[in-house]
Structure formats: C-alpha cells, structure tokens
C-alpha cells in the first residue's frame, strides 16, 4: 500500500438545495472525525444546484479507503446520502506538495488549478510551485493551504485555499473577472481554473 499522503476530489451536483445544510451539519463534521484525515474542505460553485466539491487530504491511501472507500460504486461514508447527489466524479492522487499555514483569516475561496507542462518539466514545476508558495507565505501574501498532485507524465492538479479574492490577485495575478491566470506560467502549456466558495462546517 502506498504510504504517501493522497488528495481526494469528489465533485458532484446536489439534487436539492438543502444538501448544503447536510454538508455543513453532518457530513463535514463526521469526515473530520475519521482517523488519518489531514484536512477537508467543501466548496460550491454557481447556482443552488451547481457544482460542489469535497476535497479531503489523507495521511495515506489506506486511511482514505478505511474512512470513505476507494470508489463511488461501493461507498463507505454515509452511503445513504449518495443518492442526494448527481453528476459525480472522483479523483485520488498522491501528493507532492502539502503546505498549510496558520493565517488569522479563515479560508473563503477554494481554487482548483489544473495544468499541463512542457515535456519532462513536471518535477521542475512542482519544485517551482513549492518554492513560490513558501516565498508568498513568508511575505504574508500566501494561501491558507496548498496541495499539489502531479499526474504523470506532464499534468498536475493544485488545490489551494485563500482568505480572499484580494489575496489570490496578489499571489497569482488572477481576479474574479480574469481567473485563469498564474503568476509563473513559463513551464505551462495549458491550464484551467475553477473557484469555489468555501462551505464552512457548522460550529
């Protein structure tokens, strides 16, 4: 079994608008109690029946499988609520970058950045992203968290959490009107960005 930390991206649309309340009051708190969970965030995009995403980070693949299962065909975690969702997709990837920062402001924007780099430059891109995030954090203009998963041979997925759009603009050059931007695009040949509003857990 792979001992590396993994990131799990579960994207779906809710069947009814009340599902966000279920996410906040039941699913998100219960996820946070599972052994091996490192971090979890829920984001919503668009209208009431628009895209939702649950991003969870696990200490290793075994912990993830024990907690939420390996696929959507045999759900382990709250299988009774799976029928409340539609248009489901699931991705699991080993992490190369796993950074979290103790900021005063909570995360309000979840950014999913997918890209393709030039051939044989994936490792270099990963190290560039790691170093750039640490520089931004030291200058107090970085994210609450950044997770980067390489998808060989030349693709990657980055999930980052941000306290505000202003912080995203400062760090990446993108804003709400021009979101598909990154500050350091020299290795990237194709990219796509989706931003989600963070759904907080009920206190």
Q: Are residues 103 and 119 both part of a single domain?
A: yes
In a domain, 130, yes or no: yes
Question: Is residue 90 located within the same domain as residue 121?
Answer: no
Instruction: Report yes or no on 1 lying in a domain.
Output: no
> Do 83 and 114 belong to one domain?
no
A 10 A CB-CB count for 128 gives 15
141 in a structural domain: yes
Of 59, 24, 26, nearest to 43 by C-alpha is: 24
Domain end among 94, 121, 146:
94
Dump pLDDT digits (tens) for 55-91. Answer: 999 999 999 999 999 999 988 999 999 999 999 999 9
pLDDT at res. 130: 95
**51 part of a folded domain:** yes
pLDDT for position 178: 54
Q: Which of 151, 157, 153, 178 has the alpha carbon at shortest distance from 11?
A: 157
Q: Which of 39, 68, 94 is the last residue before a domain boundary?
A: 94
Asked if the model's pLDDT at residue 163 lies above 80, the reply is yes
Judge if 108 and 125 occupy the same domain.
yes
**132 and 54 within one domain:** no
82-115, pLDDT tens digit by residue? Answer: 999 999 999 999 999 999 999 989 999 999 999 9
Percent of the chain with pLDDT over 90: 79
Same domain, 180 and 102: yes
Is there a single domain that holds both residue 189 and residue 106? yes
Listed residues 44, 79, 94: the one ending a domain: 94
Residues 46 and 115 in one domain: no
Same domain, 142 and 80: no
* Number of compact structural domains in the chain: 2
Domain that holds residue 36: 6-94
Global pTM value: 0.92
How would you label 47-81 residue by residue, b for 16+ Cβ within 10 Å and e otherwise?
A: eeeebbbbbbbbebbebbbebbeeeeeeeebeeee
């Amino acid at each position: 079994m792979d001992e590396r930390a993994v990131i799990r991206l579960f994207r779906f649309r809710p069947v009814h608008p009340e599902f966000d309340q279920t996410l906040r009051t039941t699913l998100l708190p219960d996820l946070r109690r599972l052994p091996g969970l490192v971090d979890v965030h829920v984001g919503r995009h668009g209208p009431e029946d628009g895209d939702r995403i649950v991003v969870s980070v696990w200490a290793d693949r075994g912990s993830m499988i024990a907690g939420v299962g390996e696929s959507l065909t045999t759900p382990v975690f709250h299988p009774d609520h799976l029928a409340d969702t539609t248009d489901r997709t699931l991705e699991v990837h080993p992490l190369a970058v796993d950074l979290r920062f103790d900021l005063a402001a909570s995360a309000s924007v979840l950014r999913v950045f997918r890209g393709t780099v030039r051939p044989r430059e994936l490792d270099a891109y990963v190290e560039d992203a790691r170093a750039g995030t640490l520089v931004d954090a030291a200058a107090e203009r970085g994210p609450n968290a950044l997770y980067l998963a390489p998808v060989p041979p030349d693709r990657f997925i980055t999930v980052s959490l941000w306290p505000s759009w202003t912080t995203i603009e400062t760090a990446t050059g993108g804003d709400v009107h021009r979101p598909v931007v990154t500050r350091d695009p020299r290795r990237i040949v194709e990219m796509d960005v989706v931003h989600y509003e963070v759904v907080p857990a009920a206190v």
